Amino acid sequence: MQSVFERDKSRIRLLEPSQTKVIRKEGGALELRYREEVYYPIRVKRAFPLTNPQNYIVFLKENNKQIGMVEDVNDLDEESRKNILEELDVVFFIPQIKRIIWVKERFGSSRWKVETDRGIKEFATRSLHESVKELEDGHIVITDTEGLQYEIKDINSLPRKSRAILGKIV
């Protein structure tokens, strides 16, 4: 109930990078140490996951109350940085496609087999128009029937054969 009476904190609380430590505790959850304060377990979130994934990383308590944020994850020491990025990777999971092995179309839906940075994966999509979106030139996001997204940041970085397969369908 406390929060109802709290006046909103209208200023953001930026943590001083040199005073901020993020430690992975036994069991795998993270602990935040800032000056004298210690928080455990914490959650981390990106404020701008798509446009500025490295900036404004927010720390939250387990009950989603905000603790504060750091302006740039790269300002932190190497271990904290690594821990934060690993943690973000768990809850922001978009595999990057490195190679398309095959695509089979049938009855307006398709099956794909691709190589991603997370290993080989087979998945299915609904109609290509709905599930393959070109955000801007050469930047493609594919959504499968499970709602999982796969990304191709730059179509030109794919091997020639993959590009040919993709070119045939989109």
Partner 1 sequence: MSLKEELPKELEGLLRGQAIREEDILLAIQSDLDEEGKFSPTWLIATKEKLLIIQPEGEPRIRCNLSLGNLSFFKAEIGVGGGFLSAYSDGRETRLLRFTTATARKFQIAASALGRLAQEGRIPPDILAEDEGRKVCPKCGFPLDPVSGICAQCSPKGVVLRRLLSYIKPYYPTILILISLLLLGTAFQVISPLIIRNLTDTALVPRGPVIPPESVRLTLLLSFVLLMAGLGIGSMLLEIFQQRMYAFLGQTVLFDIRRQLFEHLQFLSVSYYDKRQVGAVMSRVTQDTSALQEFLGWHIPFLFSQLILLIGISLVVLSLNLRIALLVLIPAPVVAYLTRTIGRRIHHLFHRVWDRWSKVIAVLNSALAGIRVVKAFAQEEREARQFSQRAYDLTMNTIWAEQLWATYMPPLFFLFGATPLLIYYFGGKQVIFGTMSIGTLQAFIAYTYMLLGPIQAVTRIINWLNRALAATERVFEILDTPPEVLDEEGAIPMPRIEGRVEFRNVTFGYDKYAPVLHNVSFEVKPGEIIGLVGRSGAGKTTIINLICRFYEAQEGEVLIDGVDIRKVKLKDLRNQIAIVPQDAYVFAGTVRENIAYGKPDATLEEIIEAAKAANAHEFIINLPYGYDTPIGERGVMISGGERQRIAIARAILKNPRILILDEATSLVDTETEKQIQEALDRLMQGRTVFAIAHRLSTLSNAHRLIVIEDGRIVEMGTHKELLRNKGIYYQLVKLQREMSKLVAIGV
Distance CA 167, CA 27 (A): 46
Query: By CB under 8 A, is residue 107 in contact with partner 1?
Result: yes
CB of 35 to partner 1, least distance (A): 21
Specify the residue, 5 or 18, whose C-beta has the smaller distance to partner 1: 5
* Spatial separation of the C-alpha atoms in residues 32 and 21, rounded to whole Å: 6
Q: What is the DSSP letter of 33?
A: E
CA 148 vs CA 45, 54, 72, 124: distances in Å: 19, 22, 28, 10
In three-state secondary structure terms, 153 is coil
Q: Which pairing describes strands 132-136 and 30-34: parallel, antiparallel, or unpaired?
A: unpaired
For residue 78, the minimal CB distance to partner 1 (Å) is 19
Window 37 to 66, contacts with partner 1 (CB under 8 A): 40-41, 43, 49, 62
Q: How far is the CB of 42 from partner 1 (least distance, A)?
A: 10
99 binding partner 1? (CB under 8 A)? no
Q: What residues make contact with partner 1 under the rule CB under 8 A?
A: 1, 4-5, 27-29, 40-41, 43, 49, 62, 89-95, 106-109, 111, 116, 118-121, 124, 126-127, 129, 145-149, 170
